[in-house]
Structure 1
Amino acid sequence: MYPATAADWRLLAQRRLPRFLFDYVEGGAGDEVTLAANVADFADIRLRQRVLVDVSDVDTRSQLAGQACAMPVALAPVGLAGLMARRGEVQAARAALAAGVPFTLSTVGICPLVEVVAATGQAPWFQLYMLRDRGAVRALLDAAWAGGCRTLVFTVDLPLPGMRWRDVRNGMAASGARAALLRARQVLASPGWVREVVIGGRPLSFGNLHQQVPDGRDLNAFKAWIDAQFDPGVTWRDIDWLRGQWPGKLLLKGILEVDDARAAVASGADGIVVSNHGGRQLDTAPASIAALPAIARAVGSQTELLMDGGVRSGVDVFKALALGARGVLVGRPWIWALAAQGQAGVTQLLAHWQRELLLTMTLAGVTRIADINPSHLITPQERP
């Protein structure tokens, strides 16, 4: 099969990855109601098609966090991306650079920042959580700044990890011989992945946390450190502290409510990512695209508004822009493409999305990203 859509790359990734890794990416919290709604709510939005409009010069270019982009899309941070393909973060960063879109490096990625910068000649956006050890937070911020990062994506919706039952079933949340045996069986069923990633992708450690977690190659040791470091006591005062530590662009990721969006603006953040963490935190929380319009009405003129969750195509990018986002972050689709075909897969996925966004703009009768607005959508009241 020649993959064409995100669903195609998903199928190829499922065939290639051990089940516990595929489910780690694929799964959501609880009964995965929010996970499904992220996609379904996009599908329920209808576009207004226009004809006999001069669309001979359609331009998908935009800016995100002050960075020029070929289209208003950034690759979202995904933990363990380096386990999906050989040195996965490096391959994805190269594909993003070639496509002219930002790449966001997760704190819990496999490849360290210095490796990504050396491979691309360009610093990515950097993602971080608030940890109990503020010294560790400062050290990570200092390392990101020294590495050339100027945009920080700070995740605020993870005081504790959500209950992800797929990880429990696959032994990802357990230690001991039984869990290790379950994962080992799944690994042995994926010999291509073992050859490319386990053997060819070494070292498999959490590169950005080597100072904080010296035994970072041990998943159980790393999990114990993470469990001890997630801080459920974080408040907006801590975001004020963070703003004082970081002189670059600050995007707060994980906002779903208008009041929280207003607080984010008041904290001095440069932007907001409307996000439910890909449906991985609070199940039955609203889909990100459903939460977007109210937040856009409340603070869209005061801050840079991005969103993630459920974006599966260039058509979805258009819909998010029409509802008030300035751009989108995408996670699972680029991971599927990476796991299936490496850098080439991510490059092809982004090319397809840019072409699809251009065609959507053409058929909707709009030639500039900044001109996309709610008038390009058919309201529920207008449907037959």
Structure 2
Amino acid sequence: MAALDTVLTIDELMARARRRVPKMFFDYADSGSYTETTYRDNESDFQKIKLRQKVAVNLEGRSLASTMLGKAITMPVAIAPAATGGMQVADGEIKAARAAEKYGIPFTLSTMSVCSIEDIAENTTAPFWFQLYVMRDRGFIERLIERAKAAKCSALVLTMDLQILGQRHKDIHNGLSTPPKFNAKSVWQMVQHPQWCIEMLGTKRHTFRNIVGHVEGGHDLSSLSVWTASQFDPTLSWKDVAWVKERFGGPVIVKGVLDPEDARAAVEHGADAIVVSNHGGRQLDGAPSTIRVLPEIIDAVGSQTEVYLDSGIRSGQDVLKALALGAKGTFIGRAMLYGLGAGGEAGVTRALDIIAKELDTTMALCGERDILNVGPHNIYSNDIPKRNSPLGTQG
């Protein structure tokens, strides 16, 4: 494999991952629901925002250092929770967590990860965040929270936008499963990637290890599949934020907010921070991009809590634009998965290097030396995407 230091963009990492990862797992990372309109808008709406260049400014001593939830970090970027990281490459979540720890940024483990909470705790030293889905089996959720506490997770990321699973056509066409079912289609995909197969044979981690062995009736893959599909709780409500906080005893970040009313409700019910997110365009197709709704959510709750943004971050410029519009930090999910597929831990590190360099260069050319000083003055306000009102006027 050619050296990763020749890879200059997240798109190049994506292309490399496409060549190295079986189609069903690459497509899982690189897809949205239904027509994928929201998935595409998450990226394209960033391009509509233009940066204000400044010159003749002292640019020595630049700093990307910031904080999220009061923790010092090297740049305002966190690893987002992303399922099946461990199917992009063997032990993927462990490798991503190690890269994040060495970089000095937060790592968030998904409930639906291949590597378990305990796997991450045993292979890293820095506290990490754990993303929680609320399921019908509250006993299982209580045990999951206790496991997160035992692993010294420093925050929970409570995902609110997956009560009902959005349909992702690529996953259905590919017959996606973790581990993959052995049929003609999946075997053909895997044999085209012998290095991936060799690495997978060298690990015991092939399924959802946060769930396997921890739920009643989940002893074989068929019953586990049925359990998982039926467990996302359609009765989830704002009162569950307090329920989770009481049991965890630490900070709870509410993820999946796209509406100012929901943002206010999250804060009123105890959220310590919120993530403006549309699940990477994988849930409600036709929902607005996150960067489009960020300003109105900042207006609603930005003075009361930390607001983060995910969905669509593919560059350091995207990070700066989100910060200019008021976000305290950003999350990367797909960029991390592309890095894993392209080169494991080194690939994730390369993704972070790309974003950090772009962020630093863009910040400098905008006339700033400190990322904490980035704000609306760094962009042209008339280029900020605005959400159409129900009557079709710009609001």
TM bracket (short chain): over 0.9
| 1:1-384 equivalent positions in 2, closer than 5 A | 2-172=6-176, 180-197=183-200, 199-213=201-215, 219-380=221-382
Q: Decide whether aligned partners of structure 1 residues 229 and 89 sit closer, same or farther in structure 2, where only a CA change above 3 A counts.
A: same
CA distance in 1 between partners of 2:156 and 2:240 (Å): 15
Q: Which amino acid aligns with 2:195?
A: G
User: 2: distance between equivalents of 1:235 and 1:254?
Assistant: 13
TM-superposed deviation, 1:212: 2.8
| Cα distance change, pair 228–323 in 1 and its aligned pair in 2 (3 A) | same
Distance 1:193 1:333, change over 3 A: same
SS of 2:330's equivalent? strand
Checking the alignment, whether the CA contact within 8 Å between 1:175 and 1:220 is kept in structure 2 is no
CA distance in 2 between counterparts of 1:36 and 1:334 reads 18
* Change beyond 3 A, Cα 1:218–1:194: farther
TM-score normalised to the size of structure 2?
0.92
Distance in 2 (alpha carbons) for counterparts of 1:345 and 1:217: 34
For structure 1, list consecutive stretches of 5 or more residues without a partner in the other structure: none
Q: Give the counterpart letter for 2:315 in structure 1.
A: S
Change (3 A) 1:215 1:13: farther
Q: In the aligned structure 1, how far is the partner of 2:180 from the partner of 2:55?
A: 63
Indicate how the Cα distance of structure 1 residues 218 and 329 shifts in structure 2: closer, same or farther if over 3 A, else same. farther
Aligned partner of 1:95: which letter? A
> Which moves more between the two structures, 279-288 or 217-226?
217-226
Distance 1:249 1:239 in 2: 11
* Deviation of the 1:122 alpha carbon: 2.0
Per the alignment, do residues 370 and 38 of structure 1 end up closer, same or farther by CA in structure 2, a change over 3 Å counting? same
Instruction: Show CA shifts across 1:314-349 (max 9, x none).
Output: 111000000110000000011111111111111122
Alignment partners' CA distance in 1, 2:295 and 2:8? 30
Using the aligned pairs only, state the percent identity.
42
In the aligned structure 2, how far is the partner of 1:175 from the partner of 1:140?
22
RMSD: 2.0
CA distance in 2, matches of 1:175, 1:116: 19
When structure 1 is superposed on structure 2, of 345-354 and 8-17 the one drifting more is 345-354
Residues in 2 aligned to 1:330 and 1:176: alpha-carbon distance in whole angstroms: 25
How much does 1:147 deviate?
Answer: 0.8
Task: Determine the C-alpha separation between the residues in 2 that align with 1:174 and 1:149.
Answer: 25
Conservation of the 8 A alpha-carbon contact between 1:204 and 1:217 = no
Contact 1:99/1:351 (8 A) holds in 2: no
Distance across 2 between alignment mates of 1:261 and 1:132: 24
Q: Secondary structure at the match of 1:208?
A: coil
